[in-house]
Copies of this chain bind each other. A is one copy, B any other.
Amino acid sequence: MSTPLVIGVDVGGTTIRSGVVDAAGRILRSGACDTPERSQEAVLAALEGAIRAFLSDPIAAVGLGVPSHLERGTGRLLQATNVALADLDLEAFVRERFGLPVGVENDANAAALAEWKLGAGRGLSTLVVLTLGTGVGGGLVLDGHLYRGWAELGHVVVQVDGPPCQGACTGRGHLEALVSGTAADRAARELWGADADARLLVERAQQGDGAAQARMAQMGHILGAAVGSFANLFDPDLVVVGGGFGIAAGDLLLEPARAALRREALAPARERLDIVPAELGPDAGLVGAALVGREALERAA
Complex Cα distance, B264 from A106, in Å, reads 21
The answer to whether B172 touches A235, judged by C-beta atoms less than 8 angstroms apart, is no
Determine whether the beta carbon of A170 is less than 8 Å from that of B72.
no
- Is A157 positioned at the interface, with any CB of B under 8 Å from its CB? yes
* Candidates B126, B221, B229; contact of A149 at CB < 8 Å: B126
Q: Which residues does chain B contribute within 8 Å of A126, judged by CB atoms? A: 72, 149
A232 close to B263 (CB less than 8 A): no
Which are the 7 A-B pairs with shortest beta-carbon distances? A155-B232, A156-B229, A152-B232, A171-B264, A157-B225, A150-B235, A160-B225
CB <8 Å contact, B72 and A263:
no
**Would B264 and A172 count as touching, CB distance under 8 A?**
yes
Set B148, B173, B263: member contacting A143, Cβ < 8 A: B148
Given contacts A147-B142, A159-B159, A160-B222, contact A267 B235 (CB under 8 A): no
A193 partner residues in chain B, CB cutoff 8 A? none
Show 30 residue pairs from A and B whose CB-CB distance is below 8 angstroms, ordered by the A residue: A72-B125, A72-B143, A73-B125, A143-B148, A149-B233, A149-B234, A149-B235, A150-B233, A150-B234, A150-B235, A152-B266, A155-B228, A155-B266, A156-B233, A157-B226, A157-B228, A157-B229, A159-B159, A159-B160, A160-B221, A160-B222, A168-B266, A168-B267, A170-B264, A171-B228, A171-B263, A171-B264, A173-B225, A229-B229, A233-B233
The CA-CA distance from A150 to B234 in the complex, in Å, is 6
The answer to whether B263 touches A150, judged by C-beta atoms less than 8 angstroms apart, is no
Chain A residues near B (Cβ < 8 Å):
69, 72-73, 78-79, 125-126, 142-143, 147-153, 155-161, 168-174, 221-222, 225-226, 228-229, 232-235, 263-268, 270
Q: Known: A159-B160, A228-B157, A268-B78. Contact between A172 and B263, CB under 8 A?
A: yes
